[in-house]
């Protein structure tokens, strides 16, 4: 067994407000091994991006880590001073965000941004840094990299800018890459190219990847394992094929049922009734119980922990029996 590169243990994130403290992440635990791609999926507001932000040390104030620990290569990083964490974030952790324009400085050429990152974290000369930057652009599929390295971000298309961001994330040869919705702003054909690129580069470099997305198609195509989040907790986690084809948690089953299938003749898409609870109104017991067609009194009173459910682990009192899509009757497209 390969030792985990990233270990997240009982992570808890809070947001203090004038009306009380909001619990945004509640007891999140998972590992990622070198070379593995872990997908994190769920509805908007489930806590996916917040988990990534906590790992890379970029929580927006007043958000704070209130419990648990995060270890990278066995070293705890959640309690490091800002400057130490900044050095690790550039050297050992690479980040890819949804909008490449937020990651690139419009006043500097992409070559300057790449070479500065390389020079900051790797013991190389300025010329070696420039040559490495050109190779990174070539590896990420940017044509005529030798000429385009001296251009500015606005001279690149959205897909090309995202490739530059991936090159920037890989510049210092990080051990972990946190990719937060890296393909959402791109059209479908470019999405496929970026996904293939990310998989290839990370396998070649042996980096661990945490891929945050709401797109199950991206998860199915890219990931080795998947963690399904709901209301700040992990509802189900396991091998991506098993979670997609034999979901044990009713929420996961609902997500799978809402995806149109090419081999089925179905007039209406299935849906999960209701909406995810607000942080100040998370119900007692299982957070999903108000939307679940299989909820029992125990579900409404006791909160389940992740437990074995076949080849996956599900936070459900009735795992495995939940393969039917909840509240599917009468669902509208």
The structure tokens 């791609």 sit at 37
Same domain, 268 and 184: no
The predicted-structure confidence for 94-111, as pLDDT tens digits, reads as follows: 999 877 778 899 999 999
Per the prediction, the chain carries an average pLDDT of 89
d(CA 325, CA 37) in angstroms, rounded, equals 27
- Coil/strand/helix, residue 319: coil
- Domain annotation covers residue 229: no
In whole angstroms, how large is the CA radius of gyration of the chain? 21
pLDDT at 8 over 70: yes
And the tokens for 126?
């300025």
d(CA 321, CA 253) in angstroms, rounded, equals 10
Same domain, 202 and 272: no
Same domain, 38 and 151: yes
Average pLDDT of the segment spanning 231-238 = 97
Average pLDDT of the segment spanning 139-156 = 94
Same domain, 181 and 268: no
Same domain, 120 and 253: no
Average pLDDT of the segment spanning 72-98 = 92
Same domain, 141 and 188: yes
Contact at 8 Å (CB) between 56 and 103? no
The predicted-structure confidence for 159-196, as pLDDT tens digits, reads as follows: 899 899 999 998 998 999 999 988 876 778 778 888 88
State the pTM of this model: 0.90
Average pLDDT of the segment spanning 302-330 = 75
What pLDDT does residue 326 have? 40
Beta strands in the chain (DSSP E): 6-17, 20-32, 37-41, 64-72, 75-76, 93-96, 176-180, 208-212, 225-230, 233-239, 307-309, 312-314
Q: Out of 27-41, 110-124, 172-186, 230-244, which region has the weakest mean confidence (pLDDT)?
A: 172-186
Same domain, 78 and 176: yes
- Coil/strand/helix, residue 65: strand
CATH number of the structural domain spanning residue 93:
3.40.50.300
Q: What are phi and psi of 141, to 5 degrees?
A: 85, 25
If one counts the domains in the chain, the total is 2
What pLDDT does residue 263 have? 67
- Print burial letters for 297-317: b (CB count within 10 Å at least 16), e (below 16): eebeeebbebeebeebbbbbb
And the tokens for 197?
């690129």
- Domain annotation covers residue 11: yes
Domain extent, residue 262, equals: 247-314
Same domain, 74 and 198: yes
What pLDDT does residue 325 have? 42
Query: How many other CB atoms sit within 10 Å of the CB of residue 184?
Result: 14
Bridge-partner residues for 31, per DSSP? 7
Contact at 8 Å (CB) between 72 and 92? yes
Same domain, 133 and 70: yes
- Domain annotation covers residue 1: no
d(CA 229, CA 235) in angstroms, rounded, equals 5
């Amino acid at each position: 067994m390969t030792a985990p590169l990233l270990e997240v243990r009982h992570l808890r994130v809070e947001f203090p407000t004038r009306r009380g403290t909001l619990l945004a992440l509640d007891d999140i635990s998972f590992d990622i091994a070198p070379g593995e791609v872990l997908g994190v999926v769920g509805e908007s507001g489930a806590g996916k991006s917040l988990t990534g932000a906590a790992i890379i040390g970029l929580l927006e104030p007043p958000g704070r880590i209130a419990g648990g620990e995060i270890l990278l290569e066995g070293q705890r990083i959640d309690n490091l001073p800002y400057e130490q964490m900044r050095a690790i974030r550039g050297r050992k952790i690479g980040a890819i965000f949804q909008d490449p324009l937020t990651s690139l400085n419009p006043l500097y050429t992409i070559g300057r941004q790449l070479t500065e990152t390389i020079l900051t974290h790797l013991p190389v000369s300025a010329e070696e840094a420039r040559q490495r930057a050109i190779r990174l652009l070539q590896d990420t599929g940017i044509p005529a990299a030798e000429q385009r390295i001296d251009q500015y971000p606005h001279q690149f298309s959205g897909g090309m800018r995202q490739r530059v961001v991936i090159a920037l994330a890989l510049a210092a040869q990080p051990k972990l890459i946190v990719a937060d919705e890296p393909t959402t702003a791109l059209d479908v054909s470019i999405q496929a190219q970026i996904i293939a690129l990310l998989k290839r580069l990370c396998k070649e470099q042996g980096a661990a990847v945490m891929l945050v997305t709401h797109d199950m198609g991206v998860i199915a195509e890219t990931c080795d394992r998947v963690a399904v989040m709901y209301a700040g907790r992990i509802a189900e986690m396991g091998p991506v094929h098993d979670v997609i084809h034999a979901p044990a948690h009713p929420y996961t089953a609902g997500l799978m049922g809402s995806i149109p299938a090419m081999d089925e003749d179905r007039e209406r898409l299935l849906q999960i009734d209701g909406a995810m609870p607000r942080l100040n109104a998370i119900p007692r017991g299982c957070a999903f119980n108000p939307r679940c067609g299989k909820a029992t009194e125990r579900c409404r009173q006791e909160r389940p922990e992740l437990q074995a459910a076949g080849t996956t682990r599900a936070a459900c009192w009735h795992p495995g029996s939940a393969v039917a899509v909840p509240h599917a009757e009468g669902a509208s497209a």
